[in-house]
């Protein structure tokens, strides 16, 4: 068994930042990650980091833009924390050597981004995430923080107190991918989940194949609630054949969207008369699909993004990476022809329910980054707001897990006296009761709250070893790849940009079938050495759980807000829906409930307004 | 074991090709030309009909230290239906998901930024996700990176590569961190940023190290990726002159820059087009200027 004060699961931007912060707070910190840190998907982020750095800009404008962009479903304390801390954290990155793009006077450049009232997106070419990830990994190396890379975390170790809010997390169980060795990792202070997004629940996604929602699913099974899972961002400019992302930076620099008739449809068809291409992402994604749906798409599938008029010099200076992506993955030369683009799953606004200190409703369990929902992004994330979230809230989670006092959080988590139960929607299936076995991630055989951590860890390790043996000893059945493909298709067909109640119900039934098939899943590869078949079989289980929460959230929220559009109710209904959707597993008895959104900031209240661009 | 010492055995055919058209495929160059001509002739609606039914023949290196029949390295043949835009990574993923779930390789982002899937494809280090099948001669031979221990199939042990990367103190060393309320960034000219731009693109895929003859013969040689990492810091004006000299001392040691014999193999295979050899040469010149010891 390994033992540390703080265990960080995942080594992307949030995980690395959390680890550095916990280490600096004096905790013995280790990172456990299924990928080597530099392979993390933060590296694929292109656009930039929003931070109110310049004179004339200020954090309050950033907070205002973010609340508006969220369609008033973000919690003001989270948003204000993000806007206040982003400048300092961005400058910190610069002092760690991050190669930001520069102005003539040597200061860091900032550019306009969708939904922003000021050009406050700090960037490093069109590969900001790559530089952020590598810069932060360099600092981890500098500090000698222990990294267990290519260790796959299989489950969390928590006690089995009846009320999830009374549970504590004592560590994780992981296996060394290279050797197959299953081990316990005891966390004396806390576990920080920083496992990234669940994009692989969809089949056209900008996300890496590693983005399988592992943290979401493990936390959910352990009793943490998941928040606002229905809010999935579809990025308006992904390449049609692969889903590779073309940065919003292209539109930020002046790139223009055209339909098949050569119309600049964002203006000419009235989708966003003021901002045009730089309207919020959900607005642009719906506009594109509407164009295609009404017969004005190119090859009935996509639209064109044209940046030729920017000129070769400016493109090479600020968007060179985009030329390579378009060339390598779509065979298009962005200097001489427009690039084909269509919406692709890109980001999950929802995630593990945490407060502004990164804490979940389970003691000692934290989450930060895309896997978490503070909530900063609400119904729709603005471009350039994900990277500051990683560093601001990664740092806070790391510090708090290490034992620092960050003051009391205003945001509440878990099922409590401030929530309202879901009672109206008829669910087509009983959620979440199948799976490889019906037991949850909770150590049900433990001795209650007072159970000793070492014993809990040992039993959890034994359980995962038995699970691996069972998967590998089984000689036939269904393989995970079939189940995953079926799941992804259903999500893309029915829980996409445009959603209907009937479609979502269909998706839920398919997800149920996937669960049933998963009971017959087996791992064909007989080797303990680097068994990716085994790893992906675990990941597929997580995807099923996470997909179900996305679909359930989408079904119960019968309104149109941010990225979530419902055919039956195509308007935002503030009278009823200024509230977060929460789903809790609760030992196999899932419940859905709501918590009011917090619109009261420290000095002002963000009154919901019509969101027009 | 390393792939370089093993004689590949006669491939055992796994899924024998039924379709006679698949044999005697034309060279990719001819194919491309043909495709282009047809495209011009038919103007529209070429794509799908043109490639439909075509199959890609893969020969994939297999090895597993604990599985009988895989302990001796072998090549397996896979026949994968071709789709327009298919990459080597797409093809091996298809083979894994449809034919043999034990086929093992690292991959993640699918867009040439995570650096996981550098393979030895048709005798050259390439990123699987960035290499179009249509540009390769068939059968497409996919092997693990040479000069590194093979863990299993296409997975190599990267530890030595990481050790070398860490050996150059790959972190910014200016200790002048900002005071909490001091929101001033350090100044850097756009020219200086441009100077380090290419070096900062490295994705740690290991293709360069694998292609380098010197690294193959001298295990302690820092190698092109690590030297390039050091270049990024050494050329960054934000670090002071003293630290730069410290960096040059690390680089001019016995297994540092002077080992490079400017064969340009690293530069040729770099998937991010980093001028590695030029960077190494420039560091040699800097070391001379500083009158550092000449090995």
Structurally, chain A folds into a number of domains equal to: 2
B185 assigned to some structural domain: no
Out of A39, A102, A127, name the one closest to residue B116 (CB).
A39
Helix A532-556 vs helix A453-473: crossing angle, to nearest 10: 110
All residues of chain A having their beta carbon less than 8 Å from the beta carbon of residue B171 are 96-97, 138-139, 141-142
Per residue in A404-457, pLDDT (tens digit) is 999 999 999 999 999 999 888 888 776 664 444 444 444 343 334 445 889 999
| Buried residues in B236-275 as b, exposed as e (16+ CB within 10 A) | bbbbeeebbebbbebbbbebbbbbbeeeebbbebbbbebb
Q: Are residues A223 and A319 in the same domain?
A: no
Q: Are residues B13 and B146 in the same domain?
A: yes
Q: Are residues B34 and B91 in the same domain?
A: yes
Per residue in A319-369, pLDDT (tens digit) is 988 999 998 888 899 999 999 999 999 999 999 999 999 999 999 999 999
Per residue in A498-532, pLDDT (tens digit) is 999 999 999 999 999 999 999 999 999 999 999 99
CATH number, domain at A268?
3.90.700.10
Q: What is the mean pLDDT of chain A?
A: 93
Q: Are residues A98 and A15 in the same domain?
A: yes
Q: Are residues A338 and A438 in the same domain?
A: no
CA distance to partner chain A, nearest, from residue B135 (Å): 12
Contact status of B71 with chain A (Cβ, < 8 Å): no
Residues A154 and A538 sit within 8 Å (Cβ to Cβ)? yes
Q: Are residues B91 and B146 in the same domain?
A: yes
Q: Are residues A37 and A123 in the same domain?
A: yes
Out of A35, A102, A208, name the one closest to residue B188 (CB).
A102
Q: Are residues A418 and A339 in the same domain?
A: no
- Taking CB atoms and an 8 Å limit, are B104 and A531 in contact across chains? yes
Tell me, what's the ipTM?
A: 0.93
Out of B96, B107, B114, name the one closest to residue A43 (CB).
B114
User: Mutation test of the interface with chain B: which of A16, A328, A399, choosing the one with the most B Cβ atoms within 10 A?
Assistant: A328
All residues of chain B having their beta carbon less than 8 Å from the beta carbon of residue A43 are 109, 113-114, 203
CATH number, domain at B117?
3.10.20.30
Contact status of B197 with chain A (Cβ, < 8 Å): yes
Contact status of B171 with chain A (Cβ, < 8 Å): yes
Q: Are residues B79 and B26 in the same domain?
A: yes
In B162-261 the beta strands, taken as DSSP E runs, fall at none
Range of the domain at A286: 235-344
B182 assigned to some structural domain: no
Radius of gyration for the alpha carbons in chain A, expressed in angstroms and rounded: 23
Averaged over A311-323, what is the pLDDT? Answer: 91
Looking at chain A from residue 124 to 183, which residues have their Cβ under 8 Å from any Cβ of chain B?
125, 127, 130-131, 134-135, 138-139, 141-142, 178
Does residue A110 have a pLDDT over 80?
Answer: yes
All residues of chain A having their beta carbon less than 8 Å from the beta carbon of residue B134 are none
Strand partners, A169: A158
Dihedral (CA of A153, A154, A160, A164) sign: positive
CATH number, domain at B280?
1.10.1060.10
Residues A582 and A73 sit within 8 Å (Cβ to Cβ)? no
- Taking CB atoms and an 8 Å limit, are A36 and B158 in contact across chains? yes
Q: How many CB atoms lie within 10 A of CB A295?
A: 10
Contact status of B271 with chain A (Cβ, < 8 Å): no
Distance of CA A123 to the CA centre of its chain: 20
Q: Are residues B125 and B31 in the same domain?
A: yes
Greatest Cα-to-Cα distance within chain A, rounded to the nearest angstrom: 68
pLDDT at residue B52, as a whole number: 53
Q: Are residues B136 and B268 in the same domain?
A: no
Structurally, chain B folds into a number of domains equal to: 2
Averaged over A76-104, what is the pLDDT? Answer: 97
CA separation for the pair A207, A203 (Å, rounded): 10
All residues of chain B having their beta carbon less than 8 Å from the beta carbon of residue A51 are none
pLDDT at residue A193, as a whole number: 98
Q: Are residues A538 and A457 in the same domain?
A: yes
B184 assigned to some structural domain: no
All residues of chain A having their beta carbon less than 8 Å from the beta carbon of residue B110 are 208-209, 242-244
Range of the domain at B52: 3-155
CA distance to partner chain A, nearest, from residue B164 (Å): 13
Q: Are residues B138 and B195 in the same domain?
A: no
More reliable by pLDDT, B45 or A560: A560
Q: Are residues A444 and A566 in the same domain?
A: yes
Whether the upstream peptide bond of residue A375 has omega within 30° of 0, thus cis, is yes
B81 assigned to some structural domain: yes
Q: Are residues B134 and B264 in the same domain?
A: no
Looking at chain B from residue 35 to 64, which residues have their Cβ under 8 Å from any Cβ of chain A?
64
Contact status of A87 with chain B (Cβ, < 8 Å): yes
- The residue ranges of chain B whose pLDDT is under 50 are 1-51, 295
Per residue in A211-248, pLDDT (tens digit) is 999 999 999 999 999 999 999 999 999 999 888 999 88
Residue that terminates a domain, selected from A274, A309, A344: A344
All residues of chain A having their beta carbon less than 8 Å from the beta carbon of residue B114 are 35, 38-41, 43-44, 208
Out of A35, A88, A142, name the one closest to residue B171 (CB).
A142
Q: Tokens 């929902």 map to which residue?
A: A373
- Percent of chain A whose predicted confidence (pLDDT) is above 70: 96
Residue that terminates a domain, selected from A315, A344, A373: A344
CA distance to partner chain A, nearest, from residue B260 (Å): 25
Contact status of B149 with chain A (Cβ, < 8 Å): no
pLDDT at residue A47, as a whole number: 85
Per residue in B35-44, pLDDT (tens digit) is 434 443 443 3
User: Mutation test of the interface with chain A: which of B67, B110, B274, choosing the one with the most A Cβ atoms within 10 A?
Assistant: B110
CA distance to partner chain B, nearest, from residue A243 (Å): 9
Residue A570 burial class via C-beta count within 10 angstroms: exposed 0-12, middle 13-18, buried 19 and up: exposed
pLDDT at residue A258, as a whole number: 98
pLDDT at residue B289, as a whole number: 86
Averaged over A373-386, what is the pLDDT? Answer: 96
Does residue A284 have a pLDDT over 90?
Answer: yes
B169 assigned to some structural domain: yes
Q: Are residues A608 and A563 in the same domain?
A: yes
Q: Are residues B58 and B167 in the same domain?
A: no
Looking at chain B from residue 89 to 128, which residues have their Cβ under 8 Å from any Cβ of chain A?
96-98, 100-102, 104-116
Of the listed ranges A118-132, A183-197, A322-336, A492-506, the one predicted with least confidence? A322-336
In B, minimum Cα distance to A137 occurs at B171
Confirm whether A459 is a catalytic residue: no
All residues of chain A having their beta carbon less than 8 Å from the beta carbon of residue B196 are 99
Q: Which is the catalytic residue, given A167, A251, A281, A467?
A: A281
Radius of gyration for the alpha carbons in chain B, expressed in angstroms and rounded: 23
Q: Are residues B12 and B151 in the same domain?
A: yes
Contact status of A314 with chain B (Cβ, < 8 Å): no
In B, minimum Cα distance to A91 occurs at B185
CA separation for the pair A92, B252 (Å, rounded): 31
Q: Are residues B142 and B197 in the same domain?
A: no
B178 assigned to some structural domain: no
Q: Are residues A337 and A462 in the same domain?
A: no
B28 assigned to some structural domain: yes
Q: Are residues A421 and A336 in the same domain?
A: no
Averaged over A458-486, what is the pLDDT? Answer: 96
- Taking CB atoms and an 8 Å limit, are A244 and B115 in contact across chains? no
Out of B98, B188, B233, name the one closest to residue A106 (CB).
B188
- Taking CB atoms and an 8 Å limit, are B114 and A328 in contact across chains? no
- The predicted model scores a pTM of 0.91
CA distance to partner chain A, nearest, from residue B263 (Å): 26
In B, minimum Cα distance to A332 occurs at B85
User: Mutation test of the interface with chain B: which of A10, A37, A106, A135, choosing the one with the most B Cβ atoms within 10 A?
Assistant: A106
- Taking CB atoms and an 8 Å limit, are A481 and B101 in contact across chains? yes
Q: Are residues A13 and A128 in the same domain?
A: yes
CATH number, domain at A175?
3.50.50.60
Distance of CA A204 to the CA centre of its chain: 16
pLDDT at residue A440, as a whole number: 42
Does residue A480 have a pLDDT over 90?
Answer: yes
Q: Are residues A430 and A299 in the same domain?
A: no
Q: Are residues B229 and B246 in the same domain?
A: yes
B181 assigned to some structural domain: no
Greatest Cα-to-Cα distance within chain B, rounded to the nearest angstrom: 73
Residue that terminates a domain, selected from A291, A311, A344: A344
């Amino acid at each position: 068994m390994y033992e540390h004060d703080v265990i960080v699961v995942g080594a992307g931007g949030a995980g690395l930042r959390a680890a550095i912060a916990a280490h600096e707070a004096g905790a013995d910190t280790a990172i456990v990650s299924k990928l080597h840190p530099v392979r993390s998907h933060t590296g694929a982020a292109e656009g930039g980091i929003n931070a109110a750095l310049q004179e004339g800009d200020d954090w309050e404008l950033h907070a205002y833009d973010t609340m508006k962009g969220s369609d008033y479903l973000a919690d003001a304390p989270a948003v204000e924390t993000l806007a206040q801390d982003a400048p300092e954290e961005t400058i910190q990155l610069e002092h760690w050597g991050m190669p930001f793009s520069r102005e003539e006077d040597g200061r860091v450049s900032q550019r306009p981004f969708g939904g922003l009232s000021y050009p406050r997106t700090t960037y490093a070419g069109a590969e900001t995430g790559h530089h952020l990830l590598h810069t932060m990994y360099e600092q981890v190396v500098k500090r000698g923080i222990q990294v267990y890379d290519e260790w796959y975390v299989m489950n969390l170790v928590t006690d089995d107190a009846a009320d999830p809010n009374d549970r504590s997390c004592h560590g994780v169980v992981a296996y060394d991918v290279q050797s197959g060795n299953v081990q316990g990792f005891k966390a004396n202070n806390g576990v920080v989940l920083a496992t990234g997004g669940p994009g692989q629940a969809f089949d056209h996604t900008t996300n890496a194949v590693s983005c399988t929602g592992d943290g979401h699913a493990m936390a959910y099974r352990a009793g943490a609630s998941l928040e606002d899972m229905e809010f999935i961002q579809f990025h308006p400019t992904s390449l049609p054949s692969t889903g590779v992302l073309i940065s919003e930076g292209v539109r930020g620099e002046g790139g223009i969207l055209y339909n098949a008739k050569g119309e600049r449809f964002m203006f000419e068809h009235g989708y966003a008369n003021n901002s045009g291409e730089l309207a919020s992402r959900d607005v642009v994604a719906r506009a594109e699909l509407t164009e295609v749906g009404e017969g004005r798409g190119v090859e009935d599938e996509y639209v064109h993004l044209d940046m030729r008029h920017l000129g070769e010099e400016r493109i090479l200076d600020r968007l060179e990476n985009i030329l390579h992506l378009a060339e390598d993955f779509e065979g298009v030369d962005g200097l001489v022809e427009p690039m084909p683009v269509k919406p692709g799953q890109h980001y999950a606004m929802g995630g593990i329910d945490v407060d502004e200190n990164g804490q979940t409703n389970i003691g000692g369990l934290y989450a930060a980054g895309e896997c978490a929902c503070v909530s900063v992004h609400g119904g729709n994330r603005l471009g350039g707001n994900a990277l500051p979230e990683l560093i601001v809230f990664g740092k806070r989670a790391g510090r708090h897990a290490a034992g620092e006092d960050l003051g009391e959080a205003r945001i509440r988590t878990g099922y409590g006296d401030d929530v309202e139960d879901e009672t109206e929607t008829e669910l087509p299936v009983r959620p979440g009761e199948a799976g490889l076995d019906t037991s949850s991630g909770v150590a049900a055989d433990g001795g209650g709250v007072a159970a000793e951590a070492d014993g809990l860890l040992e039993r959890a390790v034994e359980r995962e070893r038995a699970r691996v043996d069972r998967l590998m000893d089984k000689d036939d059945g269904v393989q995970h790849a079939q189940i995953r493909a079926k799941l992804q298709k259903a999500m893309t067909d029915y829980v996409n940009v445009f959603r209907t109640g009937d479609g979502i119900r269909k998706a839920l039934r398919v997800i149920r079938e996937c669960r049933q098939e998963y009971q017959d899943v087996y791992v064909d590869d007989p080797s303990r050495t680097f068994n990716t078949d085994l790893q992906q079989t675990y990941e597929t289980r997580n995807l099923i759980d996470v997909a179900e929460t996305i679909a359930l959230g989408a079904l119960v929220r019968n309104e149109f807000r941010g990225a979530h559009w419902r055919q039956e109710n195509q308007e935002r209904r503030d009278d009823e829906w200024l509230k977060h959707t929460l789903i809790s597993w609760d030992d196999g008895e899932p419940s859905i409930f709501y918590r009011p959104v917090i619109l009261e900031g420290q000095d002002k209240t963000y009154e919901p307004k019509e969101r027009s661009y | 074991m390393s792939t370089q010492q093993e004689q590949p055995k006669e491939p055992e055919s796994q899924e024998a090709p039924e379709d006679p058209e698949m044999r005697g495929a034309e060279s990719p160059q001819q194919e491309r030309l043909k495709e282009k001509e047809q495209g011009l002739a038919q103007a529209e609606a070429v794509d799908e009909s043109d490639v439909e039914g075509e199959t890609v023949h893969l020969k994939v290196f297999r090895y597993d230290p604990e599985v009988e029949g895989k302990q001796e390295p072998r090549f397996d043949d896979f026949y994968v239906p071709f789709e327009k835009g298919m990459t080597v990574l797409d093809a091996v993923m298809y083979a894994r998901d449809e034919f043999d779930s034990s086929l093992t390789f690292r991959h993640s982002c699918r867009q040439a930024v995570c650096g996981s899937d550098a393979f030895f494809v048709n005798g050259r280090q390439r990123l699987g996700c960035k290499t179009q099948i249509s540009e390769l001669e068939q059968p497409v031979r996919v092997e693990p990176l040479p000069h590194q221990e093979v863990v299993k199939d296409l997975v190599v042990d990267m530890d030595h590569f990481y050790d070398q990367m860490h050996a150059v103190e790959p972190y910014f060393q200016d200790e002048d961190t900002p005071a909490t309320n001091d929101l001033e960034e350090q100044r850097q000219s756009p020219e200086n940023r441009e100077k380090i731009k290419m070096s900062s693109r490295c994705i740690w895929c290991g293709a360069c190290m694998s292609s380098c003859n010197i690294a193959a013969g001298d295990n302690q040689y820092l190698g092109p990726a690590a030297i390039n990492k050091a270049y990024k810091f050494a050329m960054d004006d934000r670090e002071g002159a003293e630290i730069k000299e410290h960096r040059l001392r690390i680089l001019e040691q016995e297994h540092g820059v002077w080992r490079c014999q400017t064969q340009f193999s690293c530069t040729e295979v770099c998937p991010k087009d980093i001028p590695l050899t030029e960077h190494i040469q420039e560091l040699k010149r800097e070391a001379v200027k500083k009158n550092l010891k000449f090995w």
